[in-house]
Amino acid sequence: MFEWLIQPPFSTWIIEGLSLTVEITLFGVFLGLLLGTLLAIGDIYGRKPLRGALAVYVEFFRGSPLFIQLFIAVYTVPAILNLQIDHYLLAFLVFGLNSAAYQKGYIKGAMQTILDDQMAAGLSVGMSKAQTLRHVILPQAYRIVIPSWTNEFCSLTKSTATLAFVGLFDLVSAGISIKMWTFQILPVWISIGAIYLVWITGFSKIMDIIYEKKKIPGVELLMQ
Amino acid sequence: MTNYVMEAKNVYKTYCIKGDKKADIKEVEAVKDVSLQIRKGDIKLIFGPSGSGKSTFLRCMAMLEFPDKGDIYLGDECLTKPGVDLNKARARIGFVFQHIYLFRHLTALGNVELALRQVLKLPKEEARKRALDALTEVKVTDCVNKFPSQMSGGQAQRVGIARALARNPDIILLDEPTSALDPELTGEVIDSLRDLAKEGTTMLIVSHEMPFAQEVAEEMIFYDEGRIIETGPPSLFFNAPNTDRAKQFMTRIINRTTR
């Protein structure tokens, strides 16, 4: 039933699919963290037109299905620009942009719980707003945001299943191919599901350990 | 050349309090035509009923709030003119907050060091040495590696004072430094302030610690409803203030402390 798991080419397909899933998720959450931070700062300090533009961005990426976003990026955008762009590159970008829309909210929320007093303290010692953001606000906000960030990672990992829709070879695409060759439908999907489960659980556990190590003594009390 | 360390000239500040409903906006005139001069080595103490705008005035002095009208001078430099580098100016002013506001992700040492490294751009070793000196001065050497949440209120506030002190600012502004502390912890903070006073540190303090005021303040300023009502040496207020309002307030405060 499961013997195909160690048989090439099926085992290679699984490894290939898993590595795309892992790579695109990690790239997505890190690009999302970076862009999400910029979006959060823009939303807090920007003028109205900028905040409006950010809101449109966030609503587009949160409000439409990921596979439609992928579809537009992979097929429509290159056609409009009349350019050949690597599909993998476009998919990586969509994952980052999509994740940024969610992470903006988490980061902004974390910043706002500490912004008033910590910004006043930073300015009072002669630091600029930018210095205070960098050395005081963000280091605290990132620590607070780790659990939400881990959730975002879990959800993004499972969203990689949509890559199959645009012909990219992720873990689900691997499953589809293997199923067609082996006809072991249930065992294939159980195995694919188990791989997701192990990877997500392992990574989340690591993030939990990092959270415990990095958390600021007493700050979680302040937040309750 | 003025010989004032800091000066406020006819400062006004109004802020809005938002109510439950959107239309429920209350305007509070916290500072109305307030002027004040501080010379080097002066210790002045502002006191008055809560909600009268003392803290807002102090935050205006530190340029943590921008006055609506009027000017703030730091030495010869007018801070309320457009184009002034306020970060540079704030680096020369120490500020101690009522609710302490330590950087929560940093230890006591980190709290004091941060501005020395980022603002004064001192090398690591020198910043550490100066931070330790400042922490020693307020006698919290046992907390050097503790985080704010691991300190008592009195220890945390003394770290706050060290943080304001470490840059050798021209003046230190203190906004009710003891009023958020348990009564038995105010003593240690007052002791630190007394030491600073002995060394000739220029200070403008909002406080209701009357025995302390009597001991160190050259001038007391009674502040109510956004204005300076009466100014004079502590002896004036403790014996016979000129205005009725100051008289009433002093009676109430003295009754409270002796009870």
Q: With 0-12 CB in 10 A as exposed, 13-18 as middle and 19+ as buried, what is B165?
A: buried
A chain contacts of residue B91, beta-carbon cutoff 8 Å: 125-126
* Helix intervals (H) in B18-123: 54-61, 86-91, 108-118
Among A121, A217, A221, the residue with its CB nearest the CB of B101 is: A121
3-state SS track over A32-87? HHHHHHHHHHHHHHCCHHHHHHHHHHHHHHHHCCHHHHHHHHHHHHHHHHCCCCCH
Q: Which of A121, A123, A127 sits opposite B118 (nearest CB)?
A: A127
Q: Do A125 and B167 touch (CB under 8 A)?
A: yes
Choose, out of A125, A143, A146, the residue to mutate when testing the contact with B (most B CBs < 10 Å): A125
Handedness of CA A127, B30, B234, B37 (dihedral sign): positive
The answer to whether residue A1 sits within a structural domain is no
* Matching residue, tokens 């540079």: B88
- Contacts of residue A53, defined as CB under 8 A and 6 or more positions apart, other chains included, come to none
For residue A221, what pLDDT band results from cuts at 50, 70 and 90? very low
Is the Cβ pair A117, B103 closer than 8 Å?
no
Q: Which CATH class is domain B4-92+169-258?
A: alpha beta
Chain B CB within 8 Å of residue A124 CB: yes
A114 touches B at CB < 8 Å: yes
Contacts of A114 in chain B (CB under 8 A): 104
Per-residue confidence in pLDDT tens, chain B, 259 aa: 568 999 999 999 998 887 777 777 888 889 999 999 999 999 999 999 988 999 999 999 999 999 999 999 999 999 999 999 999 999 999 999 999 999 999 999 999 999 999 999 999 999 999 999 999 999 999 999 999 999 999 999 999 999 999 999 999 999 999 988 888 889 999 999 999 999 999 999 999 888 889 888 999 999 999 999 999 999 999 888 999 999 999 988 877 655 4
Beta-bridged to residue B173, according to DSSP, are B95, B204
Q: Which of A120, A135, A140 sits opposite B104 (nearest CB)?
A: A140
Name which of B97, B118, B119 is nearest A121 (Cβ-Cβ): B97
**Predicted ipTM?**
0.92
Please say if the pLDDT value at position A224 is more than 70: no
Q: Is A214 on the interface with B (CB under 8 A)?
A: no
Instruction: Give the domain CATH number at A56.
Output: 1.10.3720.10
HEC string of B223-242 equals EECCEEEEEECHHHHHHCCC
Range of the domain at A219: 8-223
Contact residues on chain A for B62, CB-CB shorter than 8 A:
124
Nearest C-alpha in A relative to B65: A120
CB pairs under 8 A between A and B: 79
| Residue from B92, B95, B105 to probe the interface with A (highest A Cβ count within 10 Å) | B105
pTM of the model: 0.88
| Chain segment A19-64, per-residue pLDDT in tens | 999 999 999 999 999 999 999 999 999 999 999 999 999 999 999 9
Contact B104 A222 (CB under 8 A): yes
CA distance A15 to chain B (A): 41
Q: What total number of domains does chain A contain?
A: 1
SS3 of residue B219 by DSSP:
strand
In the structure, what pLDDT confidence band is assigned to residue A219 with cuts at 50, 70 and 90? Answer: low
- Does A218 touch chain B if contact means CB atoms closer than 8 Å? yes
pLDDT per position as a tens digit, A103-134: 999 999 999 999 999 999 999 999 999 999 99
Calpha distance A110→A140 (Å, rounded): 8
- List the single residue in B119, B148, B150 with the smallest CB-CB distance to A125: B119
Contact A218 B102 (CB under 8 A): no
Q: Which chain B residues are within 8 Å of A224, Cβ to Cβ?
A: none
Q: Hey, where are the domains in chain B? A: 4-92+169-258
Q: Output the pLDDT for position A197.
A: 95
In one-letter notation, the amino acid at residue B202 is T
User: Would A73 be classed as within a structural domain?
Assistant: yes
Q: Does residue A3 sit within a domain?
A: no
